[in-house]
C-alpha cells in the first residue's frame, strides 16, 4: 500500500471515529405508546407559499404536521441530495412508538431508505407500514437544521411544514409520498420543515 493510500485510510478512519464520538446517544424509553396520533396532512390553501432553496425549485403539495418517536437517524454529506436534505429520520407513531414493540424489531437506514426486520410480528405488518416512515427533511432555516441535527434515536419530535416536490436544474425530481400506507421506493415523505421541536425528557 502506498504512503498516500495509507494517509487516505487514516483520514477516513478519523472521520468515522469523529462522527461516532459526536453522534447523539440513543434515548432509553419505558414500554408504552409515546405518540398516539398519526401525522396530519391537509390540502393547500388557494395561494400556496413560495418556498426557496438555492439551485432547487420547491413546490408545496400539502401541509403536514406530526409528533413521532425517532426510530433511526441517517446523516448525508456526500450523496446527491445532501445539500438540500442533510438528515433523514425514520419515525414511528401509534404502537410503532412503543418500546415493547420496537424491542422485537431490527431497524436500520441507508441509501435514503428505512428498513425493518422481525423474527415474529409483534403487531400486524400493515400496522408497521402505516405507523412508521422514513422522512427526508428539508430545513427551512439554519436554526431548524441545528435542531434536527440534535435529535437522537428515542427522542419524541414534533414538526410542521409542507410535503413538497423538489426539482433540480438537471431534471432530477424528488416527490413526496402523499400517503402513509405505501412502502418501498417512492414511499418516503419529502418534508419542508418550518418548525422543529424535541420533547423534553
User: Tens of pLDDT along 64-113?
Assistant: 999 999 999 999 999 999 999 999 999 999 999 999 999 999 999 999 99
**Per-residue pLDDT tens over the stretch 165-174:** 999 999 999 9
Q: Which residues contact 50 (CB under 8 A, 6 or more apart)?
A: none
Integer angstrom CA distances of residue 37 from 34, 115, 164, 171, 193:
10, 22, 22, 37, 19
Determine the 3-state secondary structure of 87 from DSSP: strand
- For residue 10, is pLDDT > 80? no
- Which pLDDT band holds residue 154 (cuts at 50, 70, 90)? very high
In whole angstroms, what is the distance from residue 161 CA to residue 138 CA? 10
Radius of gyration of the chain from Cα atoms? 18
Residue 117 is predicted with a pLDDT of 96
Amino acid at each position: 500500500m502506498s504512503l498516500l493510500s495509507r494517509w487516505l485510510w487514516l483520514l477516513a478512519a478519523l472521520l468515522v471515529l469523529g462522527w461516532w464520538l459526536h453522534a447523539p446517544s440513543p434515548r432509553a424509553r419505558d414500554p408504552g405508546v409515546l405518540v398516539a396520533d398519526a401525522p396530519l396532512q391537509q390540502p393547500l390553501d388557494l395561494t400556496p407559499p413560495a418556498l426557496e432553496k438555492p439551485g432547487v425549485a420547491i413546490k408545496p403539495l400539502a401541509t403536514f404536521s406530526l409528533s413521532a418517536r425517532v426510530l433511526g437517524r441517517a446523516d448525508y454529506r456526500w450523496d446527491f441530495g445532501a445539500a438540500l436534505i442533510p438528515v433523514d429520520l425514520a419515525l414511528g407513531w401509534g404502537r410503532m412508538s412503543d418500546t415493547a414493540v420496537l424491542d422485537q424489531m431490527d431497524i436500520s437506514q441507508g441509501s435514503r431508505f428505512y428498513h425493518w426486520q422481525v423474527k415474529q410480528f409483534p403487531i400486524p405488518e400493515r400496522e408497521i407500514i402505516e405507523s412508521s416512515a422514513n422522512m427526508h427533511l428539508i430545513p427551512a432555516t439554519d436554526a431548524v437544521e441545528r435542531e434536527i441535527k440534535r435529535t437522537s434515536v428515542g427522542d419524541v419530535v414534533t414538526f410542521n411544514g409542507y410535503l413538497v416536490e423538489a426539482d433540480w436544474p438537471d431534471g432530477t425530481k424528488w416527490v413526496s409520498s402523499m400517503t402513509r400506507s405505501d412502502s418501498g421506493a417512492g414511499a418516503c415523505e419529502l418534508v419542508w420543515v418550518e418548525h422543529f421541536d424535541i420533547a423534553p425528557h
